[in-house]
Amino acid sequence: MIDFELEPQVVSRLQMYHAVAENMMRPISREYDEREHEDPWQFFETMWQAQSLNDVGPAARSTGGEPQAGPKLRNLNTVITTEELCWGDVGLFLATPNSGLGGAAVMAAGTPEQKARFLKRFAEGKPKWGAMAITEPACGSDSAAVTTTATRDGDEWVINGTKIFCTAGHRAVDKSEGFVVVWATVDKSAGRAGIKPFVVEHGTPGMQVARLEQKLGIRASDTAAIIFDNCRVPAGNLLGSAEVNPEGGFKDVMATFDATRPIVAAMAIGVGRAALDFVRTFLKEQNVEVRYGLSPRRLSVVERDFMEMEVQLQAARLLTWRAAWMMDMGQRNNLEASMAKAKAGLVVTQITQKAVELLGPLGYSRKLLVEKWMRDAKINDIFEGTQQINMLIVARRILGYGSKELN
């Protein structure tokens, strides 16, 4: 018999994070949605101190693409915690100081020495952020088509190019002693194999934030465009090996996504659960009973809609838990990570839109957070690989096709 019951220590931890979500995040949720690009420093300081006591974050694959198991159920605990905090506010969750996507890239592609060197700072000092720069103005979903270059010059690499849509880019570059992991090609003729990740540390000359995006949702989180203009980094800041071979390069990109896509799925589930919980309370206040156990033909439209929301959210959650658990077990999870991300991104969009619809004019009103959750939801269907890209990955893995056979 499969047991999905959480261990007592996990339940206790979730209760703590639920209190944070309810008492610290919800009260300032609307404020920092409206004050985009302003920093809730009191919240940052509190979360930084709390995180220093908890080892949370993705245990990504090692360089070379082989699975690497982290502490027991570390990734599963991360996605469960992520859901709870995003029930509070997904924008504030993304804005919380931590190593972020940059740290996931270091874990995926870095050597043991690099992991210790670059991630150690996230247990010390004042709040700081890590970011990842991969998307370019002419390169969106096709991450293999990056044109940013890295040229070897003695004991340094010289990076030139422009990156866009970098989550936490502004805070990593300008507001902390963090870093940005930038993906650049060291050999254009090698195609995907020539793509390598470089750690560009805070204060490095030649790295500059060009602009901040004005967004539909997740507005508490900064999203930046970053220019690299003859930006020089030490040779040791190239994560992993500088050798160009067909088995390397882009696989490190995908290993990073294998670790982070379940987390993005959990973010979506948290937002969807917030909307679902609100609708449940609203229906109860309106004396609308959801009658479980009856034939669908005997239910009202509202009851059927609500049950469908519950079913789809639970399906997305189980897919997400499986993808995270597989990584904890040292198993390859690229298929499952894309399945979880695709399902959760679609489900949260549908659930939040249905929540607005069921509440009518109240759902569309700014008096409630429901309309905000609908705006926050859509990005989960876009970043870390769009719905279409993840479905393409799923099809390739199931059918056994490569990018040349199915694109």
**Active-site pick, 84, 303, 371, 384:** 384
Q: What's the CA gap between 225 and 165, in Å, rounded?
A: 6
Q: What is the dihedral of CA 147, 148, 152, 156, to 10 degrees?
A: -170
Cα of 166 vs its chain's centroid, Å: 12
**Cβ neighbour number for residue 292 with a 10 Å cutoff:** 9
Q: What's the CA gap between 198 and 225, in Å, rounded?
A: 17
Residue 384 annotated to the active site: yes
Q: What's the CA gap between 221 and 172, in Å, rounded?
A: 12
AA identity, residue 234: P
Query: Any idea which residues carry the catalytic annotation?
Result: 384
